[in-house]
Amino acid sequence: MQHKVELEELTPEAFAPYGKVIDLPAGAPSKSGEGWDCWSYIQMLEAEVPIGFGLVVTREREPVVAAMERHVSREELLLTFDREIIQPVACCADIDDPDESPDPLTTKCFRIKPGQAIVIGKGVWHSPAYSAEGEARYMFGIEKKQDKFGDEMIHPWVDFKNKDTVRFG
């Protein structure tokens, strides 16, 4: 079965079941200088070992998600460099269940604009991000350590329950 979901604007409230949002705060900066304002700390990433960074080039393709991965022991920072991307995510039902599959009924697809970032929560299912248009380059950062259920494997993808798919847009 194919499920259809609308694209979601990235807000802390809408993204809360999946993680944290990094965006320019509405409040006053914590420090400023000639021509610059700084807000810190606006968000936190849990880490016990060094963070590894990855880059993904993602191209326009059919907006259909069939499988996702998750990292049950690590949060993941993710931000786009140049273009808007779309990040599909699904809730983690049981972080201790090695046989869990992503649930299409909890899947949402968020628009992430240049200047925004997300911290994907531990265990939260996610696919590679899609580009909103053309080709986009995005970066992720995650602790460089083995995960509890071996998501360092070359093929960490787990199909949705019943081999369902999710179409967004």
Interface ranges with ligand UGC (CB under 6 A)? 54, 56, 76, 78, 126, 128, 140
- Euclidean distance between the first and the last CA atom of the chain, given in angstroms as a whole number: 17
User: Which one, 114 or 128, has the nearer CB to ligand UGC?
Assistant: 128
User: Which one, 39 or 43, has the nearer CB to ligand UGC?
Assistant: 43
Shortest spacing between CB 128 and ligand UGC, in angstroms: 4
Shortest spacing between CB 6 and ligand UGC, in angstroms: 22
Shortest spacing between CB 21 and ligand UGC, in angstroms: 16
Confirm if 77 and 135 have CB atoms less than 8 A apart. no
Task: Please provide residue 66's backbone torsions phi and psi, each rounded to the nearest 5 degrees.
Answer: -120, -20
Helix (H, G, I), strand (E, B) or coil at 36: strand
The residue whose Cβ lies closest to ligand UGC is: 128
Closest CA relative to residue 85, chosen from 106, 42, 55? 55
